[in-house]
Structure 1
Amino acid sequence: MKNIKYITSVIVAALVFSCTSENDLINLDSLDAPTNISALTTVTQDNTGLVTFLPRGEGVTRYEIYFGDGTTEPAYVAAGATVNHTYKEGIYDAKIVGTTLNGKRTEVIQNVVVSFKAPENLVVTIENDLAVSKQVNITATADYALFYDVYFGEAGKPDPIAANNGETLSYTYANAGVYTIRVVSKSAAVKTTEYSKEFTVTVVNKPFASAATPPNRQASDVISIYGSKYTAVAGTNYFPDWGQGSQGSSWAEFDLNGDKMLNYIKLSYQGIALAENTTIDVSGMEFLHMDVWTADLEKIETSLISKTSGEKPVVKNLVANQWNSIDIPISAFTNQGLSVADIIQLKFVGTPWATGSVFIDNIYFYKSPAALIEMPLDFESSALTYSWTGFGSSDFNAIPVSVVTNPDKTGSNVSNKVVKIEKATGAQVWAGASLDLDSKVDFSKGTKVKVAVWSPKVGATILFKMEASTSPKDGNGNPLINVEVQAKTTVANSWEILTFDLTTASSFSTANAYDRVILFPDFNVAGTGTTYYFDDIKQAN
């Protein structure tokens, strides 16, 4: 009988014990129960009903297989090994049990079909994977079948790969191209059922992750053309075409799970046009930034177009299948004689011409900030805009928050400007306000945070929170990397300094890039129409 190559997910546990000290002993209690338990079941095509089980799983040191046909004793199978069992014709519920070294068990029931009829009604689905280049996913289902073999038609790889009937099998080719894929569905019968198709294997030609989130910037330090981070120039036309549609070039706004980006398809040249009679002066900026993703372009040429002095290009090489973060000095344009005081358009040209597609996001001009919103925060700077965002009103929208004149310049806080948060009647128990920092918090300055608080009552819980804004999000869209610490007010209608020791929170790490501070006044209590003031958010040891 020919050899069969199987795709398996077998974990082989190799444990080495040392007697040198107690510290070398393995903590068996820490081992989790096995996961992803199943078995690849194949059968010989000779009407004997001889089925081979290849159990699979993660964290398994030994398997037990109960065959489901009345056999009382299970078969014990080591990780990576197989066991044979002869069935009569019928449908059986086999039980596969995976066991860890510490005795934790996971079991699954798997249907085993043993039929001496050839497979019928074979249905095969062959698809290019949407996320992995040159990967093909195949699913084959047939009546009376137990498993199927797939011959992928790649040179030098003649052996088939097997999968259970109805399971999906994935295979990655070395090169894109056209291949003859043959699927052979098998039961216990001598006769098999086949399906064959010429299939074009492709590379992934669109991004499946977003570009890096741009940093927080003051409005005066950035002029945005496209992207969700900053407010873009109003009325901009991102697809003016300029006659390129006749060459096969086209465009779309690609939506990646809510993150939109520009997509220029078969890019000859396409561009961006500001609204009629609109120009922007970028002479005070230092760089043009954009994030570019492509599967097939080698280069992108970017031109700024001036109302009075024409256009000048800058060419950048691109790395395929990843985001290219591009920063072009404004001087690269002005050194060619271009005036950047009256920019009306941007133009993109692809190399090779009119063949590749490109995705572009976060197009903006920027300069180094004159001042930063960073710890410590005292809200006194006239050069900065402290853009606090309130949340948690009775209708789940923003609660009022603003930087105002200190209404009580006495005691521990006689500064001029403070933050006012109004917890209106009916506001959510978690209502509060957040502020994005322009740089991550430097914990060499201390892991405690002191905040000046003015509360209308004694015993109000103040929750102080920091987040890493670019970390992955939870189901509510909140960053998963965060730290929360609480303190209670001890005086009413007067300023006091509350201390929040971040090290008391198990989630805290100085390695995390926290760049957002959040204040929750009277946390866990619904709004009653009260006002809280905050100031001087600073670190201490």
Structure 2
Amino acid sequence: MKKIIYITSLIVAAILFSCSTENDLVDLDALGAPTNISALTTVTQDNTGKVTFLPKGEGVTLYEIYFGDGTTAPAYVNPGETVDHVYREGIYNAKIVGTTLNGKKTEVTQQVVVSFKAPQNLVVSIENDLQVSKKVNVTATADYALFYDVYFGEAGKPDPVSANNGDAVSYTYQNPGVYTIRVVSKSAAIQTTEFTQEFTVTVVNKPFTSAPTPPNRQAADVISIYGSKYTNVAGTNYFPDWGQGSQGSSWTEFDLNGDKMLNYIKLSYQGIALADGTTIDVSGMEFIHMDVWTADLQKIETSLISKTNGEKPVVRDLTANQWTSIDIPISAFTSQGLTVADIFQLKFVGTPWAGGSVFIDNIYFYKTPSALIEMPIDFESTTLTYPWAGFGAADFGAIPASVIINPDKSGNNLSNKVVKIEKPSGAQVWAGASLNLDTKVDFTKGTKVKVNVWSPKVGAKILFKMEVSTSPKDGNGNPTVFVEVEATTTVANSWQVLTFDLTTAAAFNTVNAYDRVILFPDFGVNGTGTTYYFDDIKQSN
């Protein structure tokens, strides 16, 4: 058996190489180690202790099973195949090893319980999945059990789905409704233990995750209608109704843990109306963007409405139970003859008509920026604005931070503009200012950051920080993916370049999409009414 399996693997390798051309050869060295290694272990209910292993994993070409009962030689198993082993009654630690084509291995240890007692104290959990419609998750645990079967009760689907004792198993139904779910817990004993429940399978009708966070953009490059990322057009009415309430359609603003989004219910057509007399000229923009979530709509029709010549629609498909990001070219409207210099309304139509609900977030027009805030940063651009945001005042408000004319053109800094960060009396020890970048930092340009600093004193600690603004937030609302490095000033009232070696921070990872820089002047010391200046934030090796 062992020789046959090795020969099979060699044949697979030979096929891979023979089918490859000079341009698409498989790079074996690039293959990673196997992942998600486990084994479904089932046992016959006849008091024999015959256990069947079905190993599973990703990137595996061959499995080794070490049974953990004193048997020294492992069993070799090809993907998709099984192997049997007879145990005496007891608890064993089996080892499953997955190997890739290039010989990399991953192993896991898995407990195998072989008991000739029927399962006892069976506990079953049956729940509707919170994010996928008509999907049901089942978990069953019992003393003395090795695995369990679940019969989900859908017509035409008589076969059970098996899982190891304590592991979860999932099933997606064709239709919502009430089904009889039967769980059979099994040990090596002849007798099994069962649980049956009438369960109502439901459709997910609201999102449980937020829409993707839009990228940082310059104010001149975006016109925002709805969302929390940019400044929205003032006075906008998001629920004008237009008489659709009488057809059963309704609306609300849905709040997902503080993240608000529009919710049009039984969408026939609903829309958005700018304040009376307000129009927007989107002829200089290239796209309209929106993020849409639905459980039951197939399509959404979006119309821009002009004061000059009416409306024109564009239809996009939707994917159920997940956010669909839609970017419609403005040309898709103008090619239909629509004037887009005086847009005053937007309209949404659902397919099927009044047949489902839709959640919409991040509605904005945008264009490709002519310039970006990105590393290196020197504040000299005549087209960019640098919106530094101060924080950490004595009352936890914002400390002053802004780009100004260089007050001390001397030494190694003769540039025209710098950023000024004030640390007023009583400011927090962690007071500072942040700047959002329009692109993530490219670390092929270097993993050290140099900053030109003007400090009023020697020995001031300057903390340089970068964050991934879209990473999960901590209890204070701050991103949890970040890197921090300190440097100390050695001169006063003069410019000097400080170097921050990011590789000295354990949290640093070049894979992270850092898109925010933060400067903390005189870190660790309360404010005393001093002012610091910064310039030329750039990378080096």
| Aligned equivalents of 1:481, 1:345: Cα separation in 2 | 39
Q: Which moved more, 1:402-411 or 1:161-170?
A: 161-170
Over the matched positions of the two proteins, sequence identity in percent amounts to 70
Q: CA deviation at 1:183?
A: 5.1
How has the CA–CA distance of structure 1 residues 416 and 172 changed in structure 2, closer, same or farther, with 3 Å as cutoff?
same
Q: CA deviation at 1:170?
A: 4.1
Q: CA deviation at 1:363?
A: 0.6
Q: Do structure 1's residue 305 and structure 2's residue 305 form an aligned pair?
A: yes
User: Could you tell me which amino acid in structure 1 is paired with residue 284 of structure 2?
Assistant: G
Q: Which residue of 2 aligns with 1:375?
A: 375
Q: Which residue of 1 aligns with 2:258?
A: 258
| Aligned equivalents of 1:514, 1:428: Cα separation in 2 | 25
How has the CA–CA distance of structure 1 residues 476 and 248 changed in structure 2, closer, same or farther, with 3 Å as cutoff?
same
User: Could you tell me which amino acid in structure 1 is paired with residue 326 of structure 2?
Assistant: I
Alignment of 1:11-26 (within 5 A): none
| Aligned equivalents of 2:135, 2:389: Cα separation in 1 | 44
| Aligned equivalents of 1:157, 1:40: Cα separation in 2 | 22
Q: Do structure 1's residue 468 and structure 2's residue 435 form an aligned pair?
A: no
Q: Which residue of 2 aligns with 1:103?
A: none
Alignment of 1:485-496 (within 5 A): 485-496=485-496
Alignment of 1:180-259 (within 5 A): 180-182=180-182, 195-197=196-198, 199-200=200-201, 202=203, 204-259=204-259
User: Could you tell me which amino acid in structure 1 is paired with residue 453 of structure 2?
Assistant: V
Q: CA deviation at 1:461?
A: 1.6
Q: Which residue of 2 aligns with 1:12?
A: none
Q: Do structure 1's residue 437 and structure 2's residue 437 form an aligned pair?
A: yes
Q: CA deviation at 1:297?
A: 2.6
User: Could you tell me which amino acid in structure 2 is paired with residue 199 of structure 1?
Assistant: T
User: Does the 8 A contact of 1:95 with 1:107 survive in 2?
Assistant: no
Instruction: Flag structure 1 segments of 5+ consecutive residues without an equivalent.
Output: 1-30, 66-76, 88-93, 101-105
Q: CA deviation at 1:220?
A: 1.9
Q: Which residue of 1 aligns with 2:313?
A: 314
- Secondary structure, in 3 states, of the residue corresponding to 2:246? helix
Q: CA deviation at 1:237?
A: 1.7
- Give deviations 1:195-215, integer Å, cap 9, x for gaps: 44263354x444343332222
| Aligned equivalents of 1:295, 1:63: Cα separation in 2 | 46
- Give deviations 1:447-494, integer Å, cap 9, x for gaps: 433222110111212122223323444554444443333222111111
Q: CA deviation at 1:323?
A: 2.9
| Aligned equivalents of 2:120, 2:447: Cα separation in 1 | 67
User: Does the 8 A contact of 1:290 with 1:362 survive in 2?
Assistant: yes
Q: Which residue of 1 aligns with 2:175?
A: 176
User: Could you tell me which amino acid in structure 2 is paired with residue 311 of structure 1?
Assistant: G
| Aligned equivalents of 1:217, 1:539: Cα separation in 2 | 22
Instruction: Flag structure 2 segments of 5+ consecutive residues without an equivalent.
Output: 1-32, 58-63, 77-81, 98-107
Q: CA deviation at 1:425?
A: 2.9
- Secondary structure, in 3 states, of the residue corresponding to 1:333? helix
| Aligned equivalents of 1:540, 1:515: Cα separation in 2 | 17
| Aligned equivalents of 1:290, 1:457: Cα separation in 2 | 49
| Aligned equivalents of 2:443, 2:87: Cα separation in 1 | 63
- Secondary structure, in 3 states, of the residue corresponding to 1:252? strand
Q: CA deviation at 1:515?
A: 2.2
How has the CA–CA distance of structure 1 residues 247 and 115 changed in structure 2, closer, same or farther, with 3 Å as cutoff?
farther
User: Could you tell me which amino acid in structure 1 is paired with residue 314 of structure 2?
Assistant: V
> How big is the alpha-carbon RMSD for the aligned residues of Structure 1 and Structure 2?
4.8
| Aligned equivalents of 1:457, 1:528: Cα separation in 2 | 12
User: Does the 8 A contact of 1:227 with 1:363 survive in 2?
Assistant: yes
User: Does the 8 A contact of 1:450 with 1:497 survive in 2?
Assistant: yes
- Secondary structure, in 3 states, of the residue corresponding to 1:374? coil
Q: CA deviation at 1:193?
A: 7.3
Q: Which residue of 1 aligns with 2:274?
A: 274
Task: With the length of structure 2 as denominator, give the TM-score of the two structures.
Answer: 0.72
How has the CA–CA distance of structure 1 residues 401 and 63 changed in structure 2, closer, same or farther, with 3 Å as cutoff?
farther
How has the CA–CA distance of structure 1 residues 191 and 537 changed in structure 2, closer, same or farther, with 3 Å as cutoff?
closer
Task: With the length of structure 1 as denominator, give the TM-score of the two structures.
Answer: 0.72
Q: CA deviation at 1:317?
A: 2.7
Instruction: Count how many residue pairs are aligned between Structure 1 and Structure 2.
Output: 497
| Aligned equivalents of 1:507, 1:194: Cα separation in 2 | 48
Q: CA deviation at 1:365?
A: 1.3
User: Does the 8 A contact of 1:423 with 1:431 survive in 2?
Assistant: yes
| Aligned equivalents of 1:414, 1:163: Cα separation in 2 | 70
Q: CA deviation at 1:141?
A: 9.9
Q: CA deviation at 1:414?
A: 2.8
How has the CA–CA distance of structure 1 residues 115 and 329 changed in structure 2, closer, same or farther, with 3 Å as cutoff?
closer
